[in-house]
Every structure is written in C-alpha cells, then in structure tokens.
Structure 1
Amino acid sequence: MGLTLSAAAQQPFQTLLVGVDHRADVTSLNGDWHYLVDYPPFRALYTGSGAINDRGYAMNSHPDITSGPHNDEYDFATAPTLKVPGDWNTQVPQLFNYEGVLFYERDFDTTPKSGTRTFLHIGAANYRSHIWVNRKRVCDHEGGFTPFDCELTGVLHAGSNFVVIGVDANRLQDGIPSVGYDWFNYGGLTRDVSLVTVPAAFIDDYDVHLAHGSSWQPGNTELSGYVHVLGAAAGTSVTVDIPEARARTSATTDAEGNARFSVKAARLSLWSPDSPKLYKVTLSSGTDRLTDEIGFRDIRVDGIRILLNGKAVFLKRVNLHAEAPIRGGRANNDQDAATMFGYLKDLNANFVRLCHYPHDERMTRTADREGIMVWSEIPNYWDISFKKPEVYAKSSAMLKEMIRRDRNKASVILWSLSNETGNKPERTKFLAGLAAEARQMDPTRLITSALNTDRREGGKGILEDPLTDLLDVVGMNEYMGWYGDKTEDADTIQWTLPQKPFIMSEFGAEARLGNHGPVTRRWTEEQQAYIYKHQLVMFAKIPQLRGTTPWVLLDFRSTTRNIPILQDGYNRKGLLSDDGRKKQAFFIMQKAYKENTVGKPE
C-alpha cells in the first residue's frame, strides 16, 4: 500500500476549493502584478539557515530613500509589472532562461463579511510558493501544476490589503519532477489567481457521477457520490438538484462532513465523444450554493477492451504539452484551449494525453464540452527519489489535488501515475501506493502509466514490468526508427505484451518544418512521415492495441534540445510546428483516424 510516513514527513494537504469557477463570490486577481527578482543567493526568500525569510520582501515596506533610515533597497510600488496568469520567462527577455526566485505583489480592496471565510485561490505556481497577506505568511505549497488555496479569514481588513507571493522555480533533486526533464521550466504564477468568499460552513469538495457497479448495466440512470461540507456539524442538510435530468435528492452530513447520496435520474443522456452532454448540477447546504456542469458516463475495462458506456472504443489520440501555440509560454487562457482543441478536432482525435502534469482546468472543461477523452498525469517523470518517504508524500499530495480538481469531468477517463520510470523495486512500491490511493479516492476511473522498459530479443519486442500488474490500461513509449531499431523493423516485430488494453503512448521522430529530403535523412519531414507509415503497419498486428498517441501534437520548448537550426531550443517531434503549421506526418495520422484504419475497439 505504499510507504509508511512519519508525521514529520507527511505533506500538508492544503484546502482545495473544487469548482471555484462556478461560485458566486469570486474576485479575479488576474492582471498586472509588481515583481522583484531575488537573484542568488536568494536572501529575500531564504535566511542563512535556509528557513523562509518572513522579514524580507514579504514586508512590502516603502522606504523613504531621500531622508529616512537605511532600509533594504526595494519598493514594489515602483517596480515593473508582469501579467498574471503568465510565466516570467516569455514576458521579460532578460528572464527567459531564469530558474530562480521571483516575488509578486498586488494591492487589492476588500470588505470582509461577518460569518464568512475568504481564501486566496491559486490555479498553479511553479514550483514552490510562499504567500504573505498583510505581512502574515498564510500558506506554503510545493508543486507546479496543481491548484491550492490559502485561508485569509482574520488576516484581511476593510479597505486596502496586499499580497506578496514568492515563487521559487529552482529544480530540486527531491522535487516532482526531479532535476531532469524534457520540457521548459516556465516559472511564476502560471494560472488564475482569485479571492473566494464562502459561508462559515461551505461545500469544498463533491463527486457526482453515474453509479459504478461491478459490471456495466445497460439503462443505468442512478447517480451517486458525495458532497463534503467543511465546518458543518453532523446532520447538516445537503441538496443535489439536476433539473434537466429530473433528479433531486437530499442527504445529511456525517461526522466527517460527508453527505453521501444516491438518486435515480428520470431522464438521462450519457456523455460520449459523439454526444458530450453536460447537465447543470446545483449543490446547496445552508447559505452555500454552487452550480457546476457535469457529464455522466461509465468507463471500464473488459479483458483487452476499453468500454465507454458499455461500448468498446478505440482511443484515437495525441500527446499535448501545456505550451501555448504561436505566442509560446505556458498555456493559460480560453484562446489557448480553443486553439489546441481546434487542432485535435482537425486531426480527428477523440482523446488527448495531457502530459506530463495536470494542465490548466480550462483544458478539461473544454474537453467536457468538445467530447474529447483525457489522460491526466502527475509529473513522476524519469528518475525521482523513489526511496524517500517525503518525496512519496509530495507525489501523493499532487495526486490528490489532481483528482479533487477533475473528478467531476466526464472527459477524464485515465489517471496516469508516471512516465518512463525505470524498472526498480522501489519505483514499483512507490507507484503501487499511489495506485491504491487513486482507486480509493476514485474507483470509477482507470489507472495507467507510460512505460519504456521493453526489450528486444531477435525480432521480438517484450514488455515485462511488474508495474503492468497494477494498471488497468498499459501505456508504452517506443521510438523505432529514431532512437533505436530500423524504421522497417516495425513491419515485422512481434510484441509480447500483457493481456490488458494497450496504448502506444508515444512514438514518432523529430523533423523541422520545411526541412525536406529523402526518407533516410534525419530531421526531414519525409523521414518523420516514413516512420509514421511503418508504425501504422506495426499497429495492425497488436491484438491488445486500444489506442495510439503520437508524440507530440506541437513542437514545444525544451532546454535539452539545442542543435542549431534543427532544434534551437525546441523538441521538434510535433505533428505541427510551434506556430501551428502542419508537417507531413499530421496528414498521415489525420487520414488514419478519419478512416479508422488504425486499431479496432474490439
């Protein structure tokens, strides 16, 4: 069941307000924030002993430089500004390659209301964050891709207030991910920031889904789940109302604040890529009320098949990094989501792997509306410190934050635990613990990982990894014709794979847009397309194949990709260039997906 953690090693689990964008009393703090860079040795954030410095920039003092006493040489009031949400790398040329500490500051007006609680909601900040409001540190958080909330109740006062956030983007050996990864380390407040005011007892978490039994039941219209009311006494009433489905019920909270419910829907259409139906679901308890949009569907495995609402499906998909097309930088707005989903639709994809970390919530909400199924992943990438309990605690916290945020998204069908981790006993024990936690939190979805532990014996490819025993769906990354093997070997290779639904979770080759030549010349569009053609021949011979995921939809920045002219700081395996222009390989997968010539659901 994973590692046993001492109390000191356990990661604090911050309050997480699920459904923030569907609450009534939310004030956006997006926009211009003043900033100051804390260059090494980072004395504004850390003391000489390595503790957090609560007396540095967090004080937000305004020294009188003309006649007052000597003070630290800083003043946020006259400092330049950055847009939030947004990474600092693409906004300030001098900070493009900066991986360090930067402080943000913003003034805001508010009037605290009696009988309420106020939180600062941060969609994501990369990588470690320390937050002060009116000179009081209100919370700390580690993890660059999941949301968290800091309670401000009792810290705010009527009128003008200020918040200072120190964000440390330094890579950590014991971080998740660790120090080595193949994407750009965008630092800063990369997602939305807002103030959220709620009643003293309020709904902070909920799960509303189609009842998930041991087998698929045709005609199932039973909805079940729970609503958690933080600060509620046992016996507090909760109401779940879905008018269009003619489903309404009430329940009461237990001693832990959970109100579990079950209700039959009189009229229910199930969510699918062909019909991505969403229902307005209103949850209320006391004076708290929120309305979300939720779809209902059933996802499970049957032998080597993946069943959606009882029907076998093949996942026609692609990998996607959270990097904004055309403008570059971390994707974080509605236009970014619309552009990327436009590419997915053009490719005829019905599924996307959001790699290698949870993406902005706009992506999963857009997937709900557009009917695109989703693989969502936490950044246990390559080699992390699997033996350390404190690292397991960090990964567990990220898993919980990912699941809590997106458990009500019908589009999300797979929780992924890792990518390309080595076959070591400590890795398997680590991920076994996470798999158990994920299933306990959400037994309605499937568990997967992307493996690269296959080996070759003659003309055979063999995947024997104990991690596959823990997975519902097995993913495997291979780059035949690029990193190893001959391109043509794909035509004849015989795979020995687990008897489970199998997804070729990565394959492909790098090509610079507009670089042309024979199929034998590396970095050409022709060679990339040639590799894809032979991959399709191989896919037809894998009985367990239930999905294919080319690497990757768009070229993306990576500090490890520095061949001049060909890469220039980009991973060039995209089916499209970073500015959205199509390479030859795009049309190969577009045609295969449209004509359903790759893979079969049964």
Structure 2
Amino acid sequence: MSTIYRSEHPRPQFMRDSWLNLNGEWEFAFDDENTGTSEGWHKGDRPLPLRIQVPFAFQSKLSGIADPAVHDTVWYRRSLDIPAEFAGKKTILHFGAVDYLASVWVNGVLVATHEGGHTPFQTDITEALREADNWLVVKAVDFSRDTTLPRGKQFWLDESASIFYTRTTGIWQTVWMEAVATASIDRVRMIPDIDRNAIELHSYFRGTAGRSLKLKVEVTFEGEPVVEETYSITDDRLNRTIGLRDLYDRGASRHWSPQHPRLYDIVFSLIEGDAVIDQATSYFGMRKVSIEGGKLCLNNRPFFSKMVLDQGYFPDGNLTPPSDEAIRKDVELTKEMGFNGARKHQKLEDPRYLYWCDKLGLVVWSEAANAYQFTEEYVQKFTKEWMESVERDANHPSIIAWVPLNESWGVPNIQVDKQQQDHAMAMYYLTKSLDPTRPVISNDGWELVKTDLFNIHDYEWRREVLEERYSTVENAIETMPANRRLAVEGYPYAGQPILLTEFGGISYKKSDWEGWGYSGADNDEDFEQRLRAVIQPFHGAGSVVQGYCYTQLTDVEQEINGLLTYDRIPKIPLELIRAINEGK
C-alpha cells in the first residue's frame, strides 16, 4: 500500500482508541457497461485493473486517475487486515461519504447499502470476516445527469461552466474501522444551556439489554476536572442534565465564541462491574444562538455576522480537502481576513473542517447540497439526506444556523407552486423538530416562506445603491435582486433580522486561471476600492443589515471571484481585507 492520505481521525467529536484508517491505494474499475454484478465482482475474488487513492474521487488529480468523464458505476476492492486488538469485539466499518448509491461487500457478503452522496454510514462486519484473506468490495452508482438528485455544485453536463463544477462519483471521504464492545455507546447528543449553566446529554446505546451497566461522564476544562457523574442504564436511551458550576471562572466566561473558542472535553465510559467495556472522548462548547427583539444573538448578545461564502473545493482534490493541514489553513485564512464565520455553500463539509472551526473559533452556517429540480422522489431523497446531515453535525458549537434550501434550488417554482412551498415549509419545521436550538433559513436568498432570518442575495456593486437600498427596512424588503421577490406571497416580512448572505463576487485575475465574476477589477488598487464599496456600507449606523456573507473565499475552477486564488494565495494583503471587514 502507498502512503495514506487523510490519516487523521475522521470523527473528532466521538473517538475511540481502537480504530484503523483504510485510506490509501485501492483497486478500482469503471463499469460503464454495468456488468460487474452479473460477473461477480462483488465476491472479491478477482482483481480490479486500476489503482485509486482513497478518499479522492476518480475525477480528482489526487486520486491518481483524474478522469473528468462520466462513469456512473465504479468498483473498489482492497484487502482487510484486522488488528489483533479488535479480537473479541465487533468490527464496525465506516464510510464518511460515498456519492451516490453505495453497496458494500465483505468476502462476498453484502453488509451495507446506503443512498445519499454527502452523509456517513456504518455497518457491523464482524460476522462476514474470516481469520485471514478478507476482501472489502464497494460498488458506487452515481446519476450524473439527474437534476433531481441532491448534488450541490456538481454539474450534470460534461464540462464545468457558470456556477457549477466538476462532479464527484464514489468514495470521497475517509473509510475506516473501529473495534466496539458487544455493548456500546452508539452516540450522544449534547445540548448546551448557558442560561442554566448546564449541558444536556441524550445518550444512546446498543447491546445493553439484560446487562447491568452504568454510564460514567467526566467533564474537564483545559485539563482541570469540572464534574464527574455516573448513571445506571435501564434502557437503550438515557437523558441527563449536568450542571457546570464553573461556567464563570474568576469572573471570566467560559462561553464559546469566535473571539474565545473555549471548549470542554468530555469522556463517556460504559461500565460493567468494575470494568470499562467501551469509552469515547468528545468535546462541547457552551454557547447559545437566539433571536431577541429582532436581533441575531450569540450568548445573549447581538452578533454581527461577517461571513465568507466557502465552496469547499480544492484544485487537486475537488470536494475532498488534500490534508488536515489544508482544512486548518482555510479556517485560519478566513479569520486572518477579519471574518468571524463561513457559509459552507452547497456542501456538507468534512467533519474535520467543523472541528477546526470549533477549535479555532469560526461560526458556520451549515447548508445542504441541493438538487436542481422538484419531484416527489427528490423530496424523499433530500429529506433523508438532510436528516442525516443534522444528526451528524448537531453537536458542533461552531454551527449556528441550518440552511436546507438555497435560491429556490430544487423548488424552482416556489413562488407560485403550493406543493413546493409546502416542501420548503416542511424542511423548516422538520429542521426545527430535529434541533430547536438554532435558527433555520427556509430558502436562502429570496422567495422565502417561513424563516427565522430574512436573508438576501444581492450582487449590486455600486456603493451608493447599496447604501440607499439597505438604509431602511422598507427599502431592503422591497428590493428584487436577480428580479426575484424576497418573500413568497402569504409569507410577508415579520421583523426577522435582515442579512445580506451573498454579495460582492468581484472577479480579479491573479493566477493562470481564466474565469468570471459578478463585477470585475483591473488591478490591486481597483480590487481594494471595489471591496470597500460593497462591504463598508454595512458597517455604518445607517444600515439595517445585521450581517453579511461575501462571495467568496477562493477562486473555484472557472470562477475567479475569490479573495484568494484557487491555490489559496491572497489577491491583496490579508491585513488589508481585515481592515475593510473591520470598517477601517
């Protein structure tokens, strides 16, 4: 096997010690004639002709294949060596993401299927394993031309164009295994409550029936013990609230914020008798997101969002970041430019990105990868994937808003189609039912139904027009950017915070890339002045805008409207962009 890319733990919010990364070189094959199943490729007893670097999709350079053509059915194969430390435990196989329909075999035994290109899945493969010569086979089926599929920015035509980029097919996030006891902690939902100085824990278990077990919870802050409690387990679910009496330490708040990303560490131990049979480590941040008196608040104080739109694409990895260092660098660059948040656009981001946002202090708006057209089948696919997305990421303190729909993608006739309106309303209420602690935006940009934030996309570049347009609430809500009404009839503006969540998009060619933007700059000075013209109107007392999201962090393929090039080189000094973001 070659050097393993992306060797860091892929699930930093719920880690066990016994785990094995399966990234690296796998056997690979295109199956354009769709004969693999009938020819028995799933049995694992025949080699595949190509080699690919997992977790990179075959369209990317880092995969070692770099083929942009449409190949909707692909196969993977590799051997599995089970570590000795896994003996006597269950072996759980994890996939971070496989686009779009995955089937998984171990030694010819079908162990899992999963539909959804952006969400993780896992399966117990213990019974399918042999003492030696184990083979893992994965079949991935994509639907590149299907515009009703949740796809985000992946284009359905052959070549990237306009706002759409290279497709992703197959495995594109880390594959890994872990050893888990026969009775184990499945997951824990952690809900901070700063008003009560408490953390609410919803713990879920597997294999606990008929056994006398206890859950021990240990909370520390910067290595110092905070609280330790132990509970008897009588069911496969346990809800408890733990008070954190140290939330104010010698007058200093331990709340999480972008300025002070303070995190508590927490260890969950499943105990039988005197033995710890399962243990997982995690962390949480004590913070609150609310809307008070028409203001978006963080920790009960008004919060002005200075965000950047982040597509999460990379020159060599496409949707997959090349390394953990590259992920961290994106977060650090974002903060160095004076932004306090990022709107991850049309992509469920790698958990390692959210980890670094939690740790370094950057708020995130989590947005679904949308479809483009509406059908009843789309509704089923999208709803399932969005539910899995919220479940995966709800514990991250950095996430402060959920965005299931953007610019009427998937609901193109929402302005007049009651069925599409009902879908947007259903996604709003479904998200609130899964997580009542964060605001939900029903359709970011325009044609909003019921929504917690009133978000507008406006690529106007003239300063005087922006100043006038957003000087009063009445002017702001009556504007029609892209010739779209901001609210669907029957859902008038109801006093929500107004944010400009896409604007700018100034193109400036500073690399070999050719491309476009929403307006253009000729040189560094022109670019700086254009940035000032679109950002500074929202820093004065005369603006009703409570936050913004600048388009965008980096150039991406044919788009050259980034603050950074595609290779993450600043187009003008970072400190200059920071000064503009600070209203200087």
Q: Deviations over 1:153-207 (max 9, x none)?
A: 3111222211111223332233113865723212332111101221122212111
Distance in 1 (alpha carbons) for counterparts of 2:544 and 2:101: 41
Match of 1:265 in 2: 244
Task: Kindly indicate whether the alpha-carbon contact (under 8 Å) linking 2:68 and 2:166 is maintained by their aligned counterparts in 1.
Answer: no
For residues 142-181 of structure 1, the aligned pairs below 5 Å read 142-171=115-144, 172-177=146-151
Alpha-carbon distance in structure 2 between the residues aligned to 1:576 and 1:291: 36
TM-score with structure 1 setting the length: 0.78
1:51-74 residue CA offsets vs partner (Å, 9 max, x unmatched): xx3653212333xxxxxxxxxxxx
- Structure 1 residue 123: Cα displacement: 0.8
Q: How does 1:184-583 map to 2 (within 5 A)?
A: 184-211=166-193, 217=195, 220-233=196-209, 236-243=213-220, 244=224, 246-253=226-233, 255=235, 257-268=236-247, 269-286=254-271, 287-324=277-314, 330-381=320-371, 383-385=372-374, 387-388=375-376, 390-421=377-408, 422=412, 423-424=414-415, 425-449=418-442, 451-453=444-446, 465-467=447-449, 469=450, 471-481=451-461, 489-493=465-469, 494-496=475-477, 498=493, 499-514=495-510, 522=520, 524=522, 531-536=530-535, 538-539=537-538, 540=540, 543-557=543-557, 570-583=558-571
- Displacement after TM superposition at 1:251 (Å): 3.5
One-letter code of the match for 1:237? K
Assess if the C-alpha contact under 8 Å between 1:479 and 1:508 holds in 2. Answer: yes
CA deviation after TM superposition for structure 1 residue 280, in Å:
1.5
Change (3 A) 1:284 1:96: same
Letter matched to residue 280 of structure 1: D
Partner in structure 1 of residue 490 of structure 2: none
What is the DSSP-based 3-state SS (H/G/I as helix, E as strand, rest coil) of the residue aligned with 1:448?
coil
Q: Distance in 1 between matches of 2:530 and 2:288?
A: 35
Unmatched tracts of structure 2, length 5 or more: 1-9, 157-162, 248-253, 272-276, 470-474, 479-492
> How far apart are 1:284 and its partner, in Å?
1.9
Change (3 A) 1:427 1:520: closer
Q: In 1, are the aligned partners of 2:445 and 2:501 still within 8 Å (CA)?
A: no
What's the CA shift for 1:149?
0.9
Deviation of 1:147 after TM superposition, in Å, equals: 1.2
Query: 1:291, CA displacement in angstroms?
Result: 0.9
Measured after TM superposition, the shift of residue 357 of structure 1 is 1.7
Pairwise CA distance, 1:466 = 4.7
Over the matched positions of the two proteins, sequence identity in percent amounts to 21
- Aligned residues: CA RMSD: 3.0
Matched with 2:25 is: 32
Equivalence for 1:117: 90
TM-score, normalised to structure 2, is: 0.81
Q: Secondary structure at the match of 1:506?
A: strand
Deviation at residue 375 of structure 1 after TM alignment: 0.8
Cα pair 2:315 2:566 within 8 Å, conserved:
yes
State the alpha-carbon separation in 1 of the partners of residues 278 and 238 from structure 2. 14
- Partner SS, residue 563 of structure 2: coil
**Structure 1 letter corresponding to 2:204:** H
Aligned to 2:484: none
Partner secondary structure for residue 440 of structure 2: strand
Give 5+ residue unaligned stretches, structure 1.
1-16, 45-52, 63-74, 454-464, 558-569, 598-602
Q: CA deviation at 1:250?
A: 3.2
- Per-residue CA deviations over 1:104-135 (Å, capped at 9, x if unaligned) read 11101126967632221011122222211111
Identify if the C-alpha distance between structure 1 residues 406 and 343 changes in structure 2 by more than 3 Å, giving closer, same or farther: same
Asked if structure 2 preserves the Cα contact closer than 8 Å seen for 1:507 and 1:551, the reply is yes
Shift of 1:252: 4.5
| 1:391 counterpart SS class | helix
Q: Does the 8 Å CA contact 2:508/2:520 hold for their aligned counterparts?
A: no
Deviations along 1:562-601, whole A, 9 cap, x unmatched?
A: xxxxxxxx212211111122235977642222x346xxxx
Checking the alignment, whether the CA contact within 8 Å between 1:99 and 1:170 is kept in structure 2 is: no
**2:72 matched to 1:100?**
yes
Q: Give the drift of 1:530.
A: 5.2
Distance in 2, matches of 1:160 and 1:339, equals 40
Q: How many residues are aligned here?
A: 516
